[in-house]
Amino acid sequence: MSKIFHPNICLFMGACTIPGKCMIVTEMLPHGDLESLLRDKKIELSLITKMKMARDAALGMNWLHCSNPVFIHRDLKSSNLLVDDNMHVKVCDFGLSQLIPRDKKVKDKQNAKGTPLWMAPEVMMFQEFNEKCDVYSYGIVLWEILTREEPFAQYQSFDKFKEAICIRHERPEIPADCVPSLRNLMESCWHPEPSKRPSFREIIERLDTVMIDCAIRDENARQFWKDNNFVKKDEVSWSEFIGPFVKYVGLPDNDVKSLNISCLHAILAEKQARENSHEVVKIEEFGKIIDWFGPLESNVLPNTDSIFDRIRKLLMKAWFHGEITTSEAQIRLSGLPGGTFLVRFSSTHPGCFTISSLTQANTSIKHQRVSFAAGKGFNFNGHWFNSLEDIIKDSNNLCIPCPGSKFQSLFVDQPHQIIGYT
């Protein structure tokens, strides 16, 4: 352990070797173990955050498996993955670990090591095994990360569980809405035949694609991210992003081009926390913007709105406040006259909007969701509308736009510079 230095492996710092008082000192990770975090449903974890955690675990395991001799963990499970302040995951607990020569196999003669729910079938059956037993365990962990549930909770008898896993090749049920690339990765990790399971190096490469598929639902937008060498990146600089995106969409070189780019910049570019850092586009935020303003289609037809136009036209509305929370909406509406309202991005439903408004009697604040479907329009209270503006016009209760939208400064009568685009 003293020779293991990797950002995704819990750091060994020292040990007490006095007989009867043997203890290991490691770095402290304040969020505790991943299993406890996943089971606490009060903690919100986006799909992309969960996939980043999965990738962290794979990076740590890949480092172990690339050592010579090969370092097999033998007890990989969610409780042996610790979480730091930044939600990064680190592998820990090497009490059952084993070093074996590369391309060799070993076998337990009795008392198979590990935790049964995560144990590979070949280990459970006292057959020869190699580092691919960790890959099986990782497949179960990946399912845990996705579902936040306990695996195989239906089994109380070890004998019945062993028969289900080793003979009938039963595995946890994957949710129907799981993206295909993630489903395929889980199924290959827990394949009954160890030789058909991927290495952790391959798992990491496949997770790069899974991350994109999970973050971006629109097929064209997903392909754009993949085609521009962004595959291994969770974020790219604004200057690196905007040129290819303008070209992909086919943004016309007209009198609103610079304003269109400024509007996209206002809702997508994010300043990094570090001092003197540049602005970035995060893959998750890009996926959200496409959900709200898509679908994304390149080379739009003449006289039709591009995604840039749709963004600009919405940001022009004084009542649109963008990505603010429910509590922030309530603060902005507090003390204003009845009938005051604002429209914002939904914080809980991808691709949806929320209308927050004060009742005419000024007794309470309502938050009503508006869903969007390409080709159908906006659904509000069971009725379809062509635009959010049509919803406002149709309602007698939405009378006064709430002041405070940060986007209004974009439309002051002054020349616009094309931000970061050449």
Active-site residue list: 75
Residue of 282, 265, 145 whose CA lies nearest to 216 = 282
Longest Cα separation, the chain: 81
Residue of 68, 191, 95 whose CA lies nearest to 138 = 191
Query: How many C-beta atoms lie closer than 10 Å to residue 119's C-beta?
Result: 25
| Beta strands 98-100 and 235-237, pairing class | unpaired
In this structure, are residues 73 and 97 in contact, taking their beta carbons and an 8 Å threshold? yes
Ordered alpha helix ranges (H), 66-157: 121-124, 132-147
Phi-psi region of 420 (alpha: psi -120 to 50; beta: other; left: phi over 0): left
In this structure, are residues 358 and 334 in contact, taking their beta carbons and an 8 Å threshold? no
Ordered alpha helix ranges (H), 294-362: 307-315, 326-333
The alpha carbon dihedral of 104, 109, 111, 116 has a sign of: positive
- CA distances from residue 275 to 241, 278, 279, 306, 346 in whole angstroms, order as listed: 21, 9, 11, 35, 31
In this structure, are residues 14 and 25 in contact, taking their beta carbons and an 8 Å threshold? yes
How many residues does the structure list for the chain? 422
Query: How many C-beta atoms lie closer than 10 Å to residue 238's C-beta?
Result: 20
